[in-house]
Structure 1
Amino acid sequence: MTVTIAYLGPEGTYSQLAALAYGLDLEQRTGQPAELRAMPSIPKAIQATAEGLTDLTLVPVENSTEGGVTTTLDTLWQLQQLKIHHAMVMPIRHALLSRAQQLSVVSMVYSHPQALSQCQIWLEHNLPQATLVATRSTTEALEHLADDGAIAAISSEWAAQLYSLPILAHNINDHIDNCTKFWVLKGSKPNIQALSGQYTSLAFSLPVNGPGALLKPLDVLARYGINLSRIESRPTKRSLGEYLFFVDLETNAHSPTGQQALSELLACTETLINFGTYNLVAVDPSLAATKAKAQSTQALL
């Protein structure tokens, strides 16, 4: 049975490359082919699975340079009904695409806010004269390249190949080890089997905004010897100064220790959401890029 996967489109985004890589891995592990469906935004991609329009959604959740992808976190908290099926980490290598012949003539650079931030130092040093403009995806940024020879976009070298666009500069991200973690989210469709794993992700709000309120749930994790690999706060959007917290734990929530810890967390939190226990999947994005390029070439024949 074909598994449908929603992702942030259009064709050529890093999310699509990650979804292609995950689809190849899924077919190798289960024999189930994947059908990818592009969505115009991260919330739309997540909602597609929440509403049963797709089996899975693949969305970015954390970057090694810029931290959490807040749109993903906020949408998951709002819906509170999807579970994490898998996690995967993919290296991100940005390129500057432009029809300009040299950097000095570039006056505007378009890209997704995350990509602009991940190249901030390079941009300040090499393109101090350029105005930075945010777009909904790194691929949407490419639409502006035809407007003016002084326009540039930050995207992937893979996207440059797909759309036959010139690359003015390679590997412009500020840090060599720039990578993004993606979550594969599942809804309640019966053809997606629930999994177990080594990692658990939670989100919780606190009953009071006072001294020691956050310490109590953290103390529970410490007493059970559960390592907290990530914690990130987001505003509750109810009142200034009120926050909820997203945490990644190195434990299986179905184990006796995990169950006892979750039981105690319920007593010291206002709302506790368990997004599920899952494994980290290692995939090869280069294989996915090769397949995507072949499919794109075949479609033109």
Structure 2
Amino acid sequence: MSISIAYLGPPGTYAEAATQAYLRTLPSEVIGEYLLRPYPTIAQALQVVAQGEATLAVVPVENSIEGNVALTLDTLWQLSGLQIQQALVLPIENTLLSKASSLEEIKTVYSHPQPLGQCQRWLERFLPSVQLVPTSSTVQALKYLENNYTTAAIASARAARLYNIPILVSSINDYPDNCTRFWVLSLQPSPGGSHTSLAFSSSDVPGSLVKPLQVLANRGINMSRIESRPTKRSLGEYIFFIDLEADASVNSVQEALSELASHTEIVKIFGSYNVLPINQ
């Protein structure tokens, strides 16, 4: 069996590290041959799976410092049929890469917006006057370091090794327990597990959020996360993303999901799955 896995690339990103970690959790007879396919954006990685051009996608959904990854949530809402197979929690250790010999030489720092936010306090303390420039991925940021001794990038130690770029400072996270949750998604049915993720849109009327949440509370179903994203139709209209600490196959959860439809415009169930901590 051949498996193709889409992820936010190029090689050396944290998404690739999560993908490799996921593969290590699978028995060799299950995965057979596999092909890792890097894409320049999270949206593209999800789209190729939704279109049947790849088997799986591994994408970040939430960071312990910076919160939700908006592009993942927005794209997942827009697409149809994707189901979460597994959640992975990956420790993130950001490093400052540069060909400069000291911090004093650096004028510009490049990285994906998430690591820039995860290292905000460190940057304010040690590089208060530099320009911060967001890029599509941590590895994409490395191209700005070629033959330039006034630039730096925030990326992983593995990226430094892959692209032969010196690490100027290690472990620059603002908080030591920095971690990111990734979802493994495919068009296959959800395998079931300890958590269920869903999203719904509702009208901008009194009680539009309270009533759906009361449906869950009445059945003793605990939420571990709730996030809102704009519908992009009108100011004040939102899509709510919810994680439940329950399996959708349980009768009480099935009843709640059925009742939820009567209090919302659209409900999308992204499936039930287990959450796996990864030790690198």
Secondary structure at the aligned position of 1:26 is classed as: coil
Q: Contact conserved, 2:91 with 2:279, CA < 8 A, in 1?
A: no
> Within 2, Cα distance between the matches of 1:214 and 1:47?
29
Pick one of 233, 237, 241 that aligns with 2:236: 241
> Within 2, Cα distance between the matches of 1:32 and 1:265?
40
Structure 1 residue 234, shift from structure 2 partner = 0.3
Aligned to 1:49: 49
Residues 225-278 of structure 1 show CA distances to partners (whole Å, capped at 9, x for unaligned) of: 111100000000100111110000001111111111111111111100000011
Residues 185-205 of structure 1 show CA distances to partners (whole Å, capped at 9, x for unaligned) of: 0015xxxx7411111000000
Q: Contact conserved, 2:2 with 2:31, CA < 8 A, in 1?
A: no
Aligned to 1:198: 194
Q: Contact conserved, 1:26 with 1:34, CA < 8 A, in 2?
A: no
> TM-score, with normalisation over the residues of structure 2?
0.97
User: In the superposition, relative to structure 1, how do residues 160 and 106 fare at CA in structure 2: closer, same or farther (>3 Å)?
Assistant: same
List, as ranges, runs of 4+ consecutive aligned residues in structure 1 with deviation greater than 4 Å: none
> Within 2, Cα distance between the matches of 1:31 and 1:60?
22
Residues 58-115 of structure 1 show CA distances to partners (whole Å, capped at 9, x for unaligned) of: 0000000000000000000001321111111000000000011111110000000111
Aligned to 1:279: 274
User: In the superposition, relative to structure 1, how do residues 248 and 216 fare at CA in structure 2: closer, same or farther (>3 Å)?
Assistant: same
Q: Which runs of 5+ in 2 are unaligned?
A: none
> Within 1, Cα distance between the matches of 2:278 and 2:97?
26
- Superposed, 1:112-127 pairs within 5 Å as 112-127=112-127
Q: Which moved more, 1:6-15 or 1:23-32?
A: 23-32
- How high is the sequence identity, in percent, across the aligned residues? 53
RMSD over aligned CA atoms reads 1.3
Pick one of 206, 209, 212 that aligns with 2:204: 209
- Superposed, 1:1-301 pairs within 5 Å as 1-28=1-28, 30=30, 32-188=32-188, 194-206=190-202, 208-285=203-280
Q: Contact conserved, 2:2 with 2:34, CA < 8 A, in 1?
A: yes
> TM-score, with normalisation over the residues of structure 1?
0.90
Matched to 2:16, the amino acid is Q
> Within 2, Cα distance between the matches of 1:57 and 1:171?
28
Q: Contact conserved, 2:199 with 2:241, CA < 8 A, in 1?
A: yes
If each structure's helix is expressed as a fraction of its own residues, which one has the higher value? 1
User: In the superposition, relative to structure 1, how do residues 274 and 261 fare at CA in structure 2: closer, same or farther (>3 Å)?
Assistant: same
